[in-house]
Amino acid sequence: MKRRTFISALCGGLALELGWRRSSAAVDESARSTAPKKSWALEVADWKRFEFSEKKMGVPTRIVMYAPDAETANVAAIAVWKRFDELNAALSDYDSESEIVRVCRESGQMGAPVAISADLRRTLEESRRFCSLTGGAFDATVGPVVKLWRRSRYFNERPPEKILEAAKKTVGLDGWKLTEAGVETAPGVRFDVGGIAKGFALDEALETLRTFGIESALVDAGGDLRLGAAPPGKDGWTIGVAGLVKDGEPAFYRTLANVGIASSGDANRFLEIDGVRYSHIIDPRTGEPLTRRCVATVVAADATAADALASAVCVLGLDETPKLLERLKNVDAKEAGADGRFEKLETILYRVKNDAEPPFTAEKIDVFATSGFADVAKTR
């Protein structure tokens, strides 16, 4: 894909990779130490850069990797595309035949579990985890409310209050549980994992590349990223965090490796009714779309966390986000779902002037970071 097209697709606070800094470090030791025992013809430091792009999961996706040869790179890329297709078939909200849509159709009674695949189980487990970690700001049962507001686009009016009230009642952790047998849901519960699935898919993509011995890689899905080890001989991947101006220069840069980066916000996707601008992000606690304008970029140890937290941080805004970060610093590994997951955590939040029209001007940029972040990020 042409770089220009790529940048415009990302406008709205999304992250993009622009190249990398020069560094005197000779080789990427982490890539070398985890490379397969098999003896490659070339040293890891000599592996070449390969880049692939495809439209997958409804968005432009891209893989940048360092591999010993074109054949290995091709086979690894094909495996990633296949993995994306599998995950899309399990998790897509837009495909009426996807597993998640079918499961929602077939469930609807607590005590009557519906069997689910390992991928759907892991996505729902993570959704549950992030719902409780964020105090309900991220909630994958927001589906019925999301659907009503999507319909509002066509009718150009708010959903009828009674229908919205009924939909809101189905949102929350009490309405569903996971058991060994599968998932059980109360009547009316509908999952929408659109706020976390892309991140999950990116993490799976990196895992897939690792099975081919490829550690230095960047995977991109519509501007959300998962970074593996740094390119050979480099400190990291230089990521430009886009500002709010369409096609504008990145607001700032970070040199990063082994993290996930995701952005959420209403710079591009919104609807307007009676002069009120409604975001596609819903506050699950009220059933109302956000009207306070914001764009958030989150850097976390993996893309699943970054994706879920970017949606949550938009909901929480400038007032509640610092409290969330404070809380995440203290969660134990069991609650976090992965050891040290929130040590490398940074939230970049733009608040847009309420009356701003494109090109947007950020009223304020706030950067919140946990202490561990200083070790992984370098501002250019």
Using CB under 5 A, list all residues that contact Mg ion. Answer: 195, 264, 307, 310-311
Nearest distance in Å: CB 271, ligand AMP: 12
The Cα 228–Cα 216 span in angstroms is 5
CB nearer to Mg ion: give 148 or 310.
310
Question: Which among Mg ion, ligand AMP, none contacts residue 194 (Cβ within 5 to 8 A by kind)?
Answer: ligand AMP
Residue 362: name its binding partner from ligand AMP, Mg ion, none (Cβ under 5 to 8 Å by kind).
none
Q: Which of 101, 142, 183, 306 binds ligand AMP (CB under 6 A)?
A: 142
Options 280, 293, 341, 344; binder of ligand AMP; rule CB under 6 A = 280
- Nearest Cα neighbor of 168 from 255, 324, 283, 68 is 283
Other beta carbons within 10 angstroms of residue 173's beta carbon come to 14
Query: Is residue 282 a contact point for ligand AMP (CB under 6 A)?
Result: yes
Judge contact between 201 and 83, C-beta under 8 A.
yes
Q: If binding is defined by CB under 6 A, does position 144 make contact with ligand AMP?
A: no
- Residue 203 found at the interface with ligand AMP (CB under 6 A): no
Count of residues in contact with ligand AMP, rule CB under 6 A: 17
Residue 132: how many other CB atoms lie within 10 Å = 13
Quote the least distance from Cβ 303 to ligand AMP, whole Å.
11
Longest dimension (CA), the chain: 67
CB nearer to ligand AMP: give 77 or 309: 309
Binding ligand AMP (rule: CB under 6 A), the pick from 31, 146, 217, 362 is 146
Q: Is 302 in the site for ligand AMP (CB under 6 A)?
A: no
Neighbours of 350 (CB within 10 A): 26
Of the two residues 93 and 307, which places its CB atom closer to Mg ion in the complex? 307
Looking only at residues 34 through 53 of this chain, which bind ligand AMP when binding is defined by CB under 6 A?
A: none
Encoded tokens for 61: 């996706």
Taking a C-beta distance cutoff of 8 angstroms, is the pair 63, 217 a contact?
yes
Distance, in Å, from the CA atom of 77 to the CA atom of 299, rounded to the nearest integer, reads 24
C-alpha 81/C-alpha 185 separation (Å) is 32
For 379, other C-beta atoms within 10 Å of its C-beta total: 8
Q: Using the rule CB under 6 A, give the single segment among 69-77, 108-116, 134-142, 249-257 that binds ligand AMP.
A: 134-142
307 is a contact residue toward ligand AMP (CB under 6 A): yes
Long-range contacts of 18-24 (CB under 8 A, 24+ apart): 18/238, 18/239, 18/240, 18/250, 18/253, 19/238, 20/230, 20/231, 20/234, 20/235, 20/236, 20/237, 20/238, 20/255, 21/234, 21/235, 21/236, 21/238, 21/255, 21/380, 22/234, 23/233, 23/234, 23/235
Give the E-state strand segments of the chain in sequence order.
15-19, 48-56, 59-67, 176-179, 182-185, 217-221, 224-227, 237-242, 250-256, 260-265, 270-273, 276-279, 282-283, 288-289, 294-300, 346-352, 362-369
Q: Is the Cβ of residue 113 or residue 135 nearer to ligand AMP in the bound state?
A: 135
Residue 284 in the binding site for ligand AMP (CB under 6 A): yes
Site for ligand AMP in 249-278 (CB under 6 A): 264
Q: Which of 183, 244, 313, 315 binds ligand AMP (CB under 6 A)?
A: 315
Interface with ligand AMP, residue 13, by CB under 6 A: no
Minimum CB separation from ligand AMP for residue 198, in Å? 7
Closest distance of CB 146 from ligand AMP, Å: 5
Cβ–Cβ < 8 Å for 79, 64: no
User: Choosing among Mg ion, ligand AMP, none, which partner's interface includes residue 120 (Cβ < 5 to 8 Å by kind)?
Assistant: none
Q: Which of 92, 123, 311, 321 binds ligand AMP (CB under 6 A)?
A: 311
Q: Which is nearer to Mg ion, 120 or 305 (CB)?
A: 305
Binding site for ligand AMP (CB under 6 A): 138-140, 142, 146, 192, 194-195, 264, 280-282, 284, 307, 310-311, 315
